[in-house]
Amino acid sequence: MPHTQTQSSTPRLIAVSNRVQVETDGENANRGGLAVALAAALRQSNGIWFGWSGEQTEEFTGQIAFRRADGVATATIDLEAQDIDEYYNGFANRTLWPLFHYRLDLTEIARDFAGGYARVNERFADTLSPLIAPDDLIWVHDYHLMPLGSQLRARGFANRIGFFLHIPWPPPSLLMSLPGHSDLARGMLDYDVIGFQSEEWRQAFIDYAAVQFEATIDGDALRLGERCTRLLVCPIGLDIADFSGAVHSIAAKQAETRLVASAVGRDMIVGVDRLDYSKGLQERFAAYERLLADHPELREKISLLQIAPPSRGDVASYRQIRAELDALSGHINGAYASIDWVPIRYVNQGYSRDELFGIYRAARVGLVTPLRDGMNLVAKEYVVAQDPADPGVLVLSRFAGAAAQLPEAVLVNPHSIEEIAEGIARALAMPLAERQERHQAMLATITRHDVRWWSETFMAALAEEPGQAPGPAPTADPASDSAPADSAPANVARLRDAASAQR
C-alpha cells in the first residue's frame, strides 16, 4: 500500500509493534489501551499499524496482509517457526523480559536468541521500508523492537522515529550482564524520541548512557555526537470514556451482583494479573496467608479472588509459576478453609472487560503487588471501577510505574509479605472519609492523564522538528497538578484541527 500524500499537512503515523491487535467484536472485545490509543491517532492521520500477525508461516516471505478494522489500516506479516522461537519466545520473553524486570536469575542468554532477535528486526525493517513516505512519523513500541530504529536509519530513512518502552529500563549494572548491551542501547539513540513510563526508568537509561557512551544530558535531550534523542516520561493511561461505559454495563452489573452474592458478609480482595512472575503472585499469596495467621479475627470475614489468565505458556518459567501457585493456593485453602468458606479463589481464566469491571467494583480491596512493572493498568482500572460514594482501597506495589502517579494508594514493598499483609489489614480497616479522599485524588490523576493524553503527548514530541522550541514539558511529574500536560499540546491540537477540517 504505497502512500499517496494527502493535501493535508497532517503527517501520517506509522505505528509498529510486535503484535497488531484491532478487535471489533462488540462488548466482549478485549481491546488493550494500546489498541485504543493507537487507533485514535492512526485514524486521525490516515495512518497504518504494522507488525506480526501472530501467525506462523512455513518460510518467511515478507508478504504483507493489508486490512482495515475499526477504521484503522493494518499491515501484518507472518513469521516462521524459528523466528517465533528465537525472537519472540527467546530473546524477547526469555532474555529481555526477565532482565528488564530485574530477574537476572530467570534471564536466559543464548546466541541463537540474539541472532533471531536481530534477524526479525531486520525483517521488520525490510518489509516496512516500501511503505514509508518521507514525511511519515514512525512510532515503534516496546522491547521486541528496540533495534528497529537503527535498522531503518541503516536503510537511509531520515523520518522522525520514536520509541515507547512499556516495561522498566533496568539499572546499568543489570543491563551490563547482557552480551551486546552496548549495541542494543547505542541503537536506541537512533530514535528522535524515547518515551518511558516513569522517571525511574528514564533515569536508569540516562545513567547507562552517561557511563557507557559519555553521552550528555541537555534539558530533556540526550546528546551523543551529532545525535540528539529526547527522553520523555509519558505514563500510559486508560481509555477513560470507554471504561466509564464498561463500569455501568449490564455484564459488569451482573458480575458484581454475582460476586457480592457469593461473599455475603465478607470483604472481597481482588487481584487481576497475567500469570507472570513479574506480578509478585507467590509473595501475594504468602502475604494473604500471613494476614490470616496474624489476624484470626479476619478469618471467614474476607476472601481473596485472584484472576490470572495464563500467558506465554511456551516458556518454562511461566509453566513453573503456574504449578507453584496451584500448590500455594491449595495449601492455604487446606490450612484455613471451613465448610462454608474458601479463603482463596484462584481462577486461571480470562473475563470480558465489562465483567472485570463488575469484579473490581465488588471488591473492597484491589491488590496489585508486582515486583516490578513498567506501569500496571490494572491498578488504574480498579480505581476507575469504584463507586465514588463507597470506594474500595488500592494496595499497590512501590515498584510499579503506577506508584509514581498514585501516591494516595496504600503503597507496599511487594517483596515483604509482612508489609503486604499489613497493607491489606490497613485497607480493610480504612474509614469511609479516608477512602473517599484517596479515591478522589487518584481518579482525578487517572482521568487527567488518560490514554489520549499519553498518545498526544508522545506524538507532539515526535512531530516537533529538532531545534523547535519544546512544547509543554511532558517530563514534568505527571502526578502533579502543576504539570501542564492535561491540555493537548498545541501542535497536536493543530494536527487534529487539520484532520477534522479534512473530513
* Span of 107-115, 222-230, 253-261, 349-357 interacting with ligand GDG by CB under 6 A: 349-357
Taking a C-beta distance cutoff of 8 angstroms, is the pair 173, 142 a contact? no
For ligand GDG, the binding residue among 351, 453, 454, 458 (CB under 6 A) is 351
- Could you say which of 381, 408, 419, 464 contacts ligand GDG (CB under 6 A)? 381
Binder among 352, 397, 445, 475 for ligand GDG (CB under 6 A): 352
Q: Which is nearer to ligand GDG, 118 or 307 (CB)?
A: 307
All three cell numbers of 485, joined, read 500536560
Which residues from 151-170 bind ligand GDG, rule CB under 6 A? 166-167
Residue that has been written with the C-alpha cell 502526578 in this structure: 479
Strands of the sheet with 193-196, listed across from one edge: 65-69, 72-80, 48-57, 13-19, 137-141, 160-164, 193-196, 227-233, 221-224, 216-218
CB 230 → ligand GDG: shortest distance, Å?
Answer: 19
H/E stretch holding 303 reads strand 302-307
Alpha-carbon span 19 to 195, nearest angstrom = 19
Q: Pick the stretch among 68-76, 262-270, 348-356, 390-398 that binds ligand GDG (CB under 6 A).
A: 348-356
Task: Work out whether 377 is an interface residue with ligand GDG (CB under 6 A).
Answer: yes
Rounded to a whole number of angstroms, the minimum distance from the CB of residue 36 to ligand GDG is 10
Pick the catalytic residue: 136, 373, 449, 450?
A: 373
Give whichever of 124 and 277 is closer to ligand GDG, judged by the CB atom: 277
**H-type alpha helices, 59-177:** 81-83, 97-100, 111-128, 148-154, 172-175
Catalytic pick among 166, 192, 273, 439:
166
- Ramachandran assignment for 232, one of left (phi > 0), alpha (psi -120 to 50 degrees), beta (any other): beta
Distance CA 29, CA 178 (A): 38
154-178 burial code (b ≥16 CB/10 A, e <16): eeebebbbbbbbbbbbbebebbeeb
270 vs 302, beta carbon nearer ligand GDG: 270
| Binding flag, residue 374, ligand GDG (CB under 6 A) | yes
Q: Per rule CB under 6 A, is residue 459 in the interface with ligand GDG? A: no
Nearer to ligand GDG, 21 or 57 (CB): 21
Angle between the N-to-C axes of helices 377-385 and 432-448, in degrees from 0 to 180, rounded to the nearest 10: 120
Cβ proximity to ligand GDG, 101 vs 435, nearer residue: 101
Sign of CA dihedral 467, 469, 471, 477: positive
Report the alpha-carbon distance of residue 44 to residue 6 in Å, rounded. 12
User: Cell 452474592 belongs to which residue?
Assistant: 261
Choices 44-52, 58-66, 377-385, 491-499; region in contact with ligand GDG by CB under 6 A? 377-385
**Is residue 345 at the binding interface for ligand GDG, with CB under 6 A as the rule?**
no
CB–CB of 370/381 below 8 Å?
Answer: no
**Binding flag, residue 30, ligand GDG (CB under 6 A):** yes
Using the contact rule CB under 6 A, the part of the chain among 262-270, 374-382, 386-394, 429-437 near ligand GDG is: 374-382
93 lies in the binding site for ligand GDG (CB under 6 A) = no
Shortest reach from residue 40's CB to ligand GDG, in Å: 16
Which is it for strands 227-233 and 221-224: parallel, antiparallel or unpaired? antiparallel
Closest distance between ligand GDG and the C-beta of residue 204, in Å? Answer: 15
**Is residue 373 among the annotated active site residues?**
yes
Task: Measure CA 342 to chain center.
Answer: 32
Burial of 199 (0-12, 13-18, 19+ CB in 10 A): middle
Q: Does 356 bind ligand GDG (CB under 6 A)?
A: yes
Residues 182-211 that bind ligand GDG (CB under 6 A): none
358 touches ligand GDG by CB under 6 A: no
- Min dist CB 349 to ligand GDG, Å, is 7
Is 375 a binder of ligand GDG (CB under 6 A)? yes
Active-site residue 248, yes or no?
A: no
Amino acid identity of residue 25, one-letter, is D
> Which residues in 259-318 contact ligand GDG (CB under 6 A)?
272, 274, 307, 309
Q: Which residues bind ligand GDG (CB under 6 A)?
A: 30, 166-167, 236, 272, 274, 307, 309, 350-353, 356, 373-378, 381
- Which residues belong to the active site? 166, 373
